[in-house]
Amino acid sequence: MSTTTLDPVERMLDAAEKGITLIKNREILHFTYIPEMIFHRDTEQALVTQSLMPILKKSRPSNLLVYGKPGTGKTLVVKKILSKIQARVEKSKFPIKLVYVNSKEETTLYQLLVSFGRQLGLDEKEIPSTGLAISEVFKRLLKTIDRNHLNAVFVIDEIDYLADLVKKTGKDILYQLTRANDRLKKGSLTFVGISNDLTFKERLDPRVLSTLGEEEVVFATYSVEQIKKILEARIEQAFVKGAVEDSALNLCSALAGREHGDVRRAIDLLRVAGEIAEREQKTSINENHIRLARNKIEENKEVTALQSFPLHEKLLIIAIMKTTELTTGVIYTAYKGICKTVRQPELTQRRVTQMLSEIELSGIISGRIIHQGIHGNTKKYKLTITRETVKETFKNDLTFEDIL
């Protein structure tokens, strides 16, 4: 026996080098990878292209809203079309600029506008990363567009998050943004908004909606068969031949189909299942690997959600974990007890009731209304995740040492 095999690290590296590999190209399984073939999206590609086409004739396209459930190919299709148009623009030297931001990745509206500015070629001196009023940043963007006679298209992906950013800044800014074109004399500006949320429209100010949604393209959800076809192409590129058993592919497609046709999730499942099977040094991925992958992804999601709550929300979740009679009143009493133990000033019942609704939105707890006759209604909550997950997630935080 060589000495290296005794070292656990060496042993793992040995196995990785000599052992079975199932995933031959990991990048192809990353959600930002742009595949060569886009299946089942001909209509959507045609509609979005048609909507943006006027820009190649130097006229202003209408603002466009693209909708669809997560993982239905919206980002993929729009990015592909942007890059195809951009390629033609570069040849023709038209003063056209197509720029893209994802609002989920920007923490403030200011940053989002700066990101657009940088893509238009404005540097730190022209638009500093902090310090100006939003309206001033906006004015400078418009000035650049006008001065260069630019036809600009601003794509805002996951625009739902922008609505949240805007809530903090004041609603009117969104209206101003979408009406920006009216303020331009020589250039033009078109907005393309992409939303994962089909109810997004209902939340928008009608004035904003009527300008932003001049045109709309809806991405339908994929059927199980369609998901399977997309996955097959991806598998061929990313995995070694025969690495994914048919039954595993079927299960993966069926699970994603149940989740409103989310292809991103299906690809994630395959990747994680592949990693599990490689670790087990199996020659192929079977149904069980897909199930294990699903559990792992679910658990990661729960842990991330738990960790991202502020302190008092965490205390409340612990209170729910520790009580059996789960009416709002009893949870509040338990929460107050916990606050005493960890020496935290308690929040009011009113605020706590509000927080419970917010936590419910995340899916970590679920509530139902209990009618109590003449005593009115109350709400009962329960954890939707296991107590173990809560304990495991919080156990390394010293604040919770005495209460878990």
Ligand X SMILES: Nc1ncnc2c1ncn2[C@@H]1O[C@H](COP(=O)(O)OP(=O)(O)O)[C@@H](O)[C@H]1O
From the list ligand X, Mg ion, none, which binds 183 (C-beta under 5 to 8 Å, kind-based)?
Answer: none
Determine, following the binding rule CB under 6 A, whether residue 80 of this chain makes contact with ligand X: no
Give the separation between CA 261 and CA 253, rounded to whole angstroms. Answer: 8
Per-residue CA distances from 291 to 26, 389, 396 (Å): 20, 18, 28
Please choose, out of 5-13, 70-78, 143-151, 170-178, the segment that lies near Mg ion by the rule CB under 5 A. Answer: 70-78
Query: How many of the chain's residues bind Mg ion (CB under 5 A)?
Result: 1
- Residue sitting closest to ligand X (CB): 73
Q: Which of 63, 72, 75, 115 binds Mg ion (CB under 5 A)?
A: 75
Q: Which two tokens stand for residue 102?
A: 């994802």
Determine, following the binding rule CB under 6 A, whether residue 38 of this chain makes contact with ligand X: yes
**Minimum CB–partner distance for residue 242 and ligand X (Å):** 22
Determine, following the binding rule CB under 6 A, whether residue 35 of this chain makes contact with ligand X: yes
At 262, phi and psi to the nearest 5?
Answer: -80, 100
**Minimum CB–partner distance for residue 219 and ligand X (Å):** 6
Determine, following the binding rule CB under 6 A, whether residue 271 of this chain makes contact with ligand X: no
- The number of helix segments (H) and strand segments (E) in the chain equals 17, 7
Determine, following the binding rule CB under 6 A, whether residue 73 of this chain makes contact with ligand X: yes
Helix (H, G, I), strand (E, B) or coil at 367: strand
Q: Which of 15, 20, 40, 353 binds ligand X (CB under 6 A)?
A: 40
Please choose, out of 73-81, 184-192, 213-221, 235-243, the segment that lies near Mg ion by the rule CB under 5 A. Answer: 73-81
DSSP letter at 293 equals H
Please choose, out of 39-47, 55-63, 129-137, 164-172, the segment that lies near ligand X by the rule CB under 6 A. Answer: 39-47
**Minimum CB–partner distance for residue 106 and ligand X (Å):** 17
Per-residue CA distances from 326 to 366, 368, 382, 394, 403 (Å): 11, 10, 7, 21, 18
**Minimum CB–partner distance for residue 230 and Mg ion (Å):** 15
Determine, following the binding rule CB under 6 A, whether residue 39 of this chain makes contact with ligand X: yes
Per-residue CA distances from 58 to 55, 97, 139 (Å): 5, 11, 23
Q: Which two tokens stand for residue 219?
A: 């991405």
Query: How many of the chain's residues bind ligand X (CB under 6 A)?
Result: 19
Please say which residue, 156 or 359, places its beta carbon nearer to Mg ion. Answer: 156
DSSP string, 170-215: -THHHHHHHTGGGG-SSSEEEEEEEES-TTHHHHS-HHHHHHHTSE
Binding to ligand X (CB under 6 A) within 207-266 occurs at 230, 263-264
Helix (H, G, I), strand (E, B) or coil at 100: strand
Residues that bind Mg ion (CB under 5 A): 75
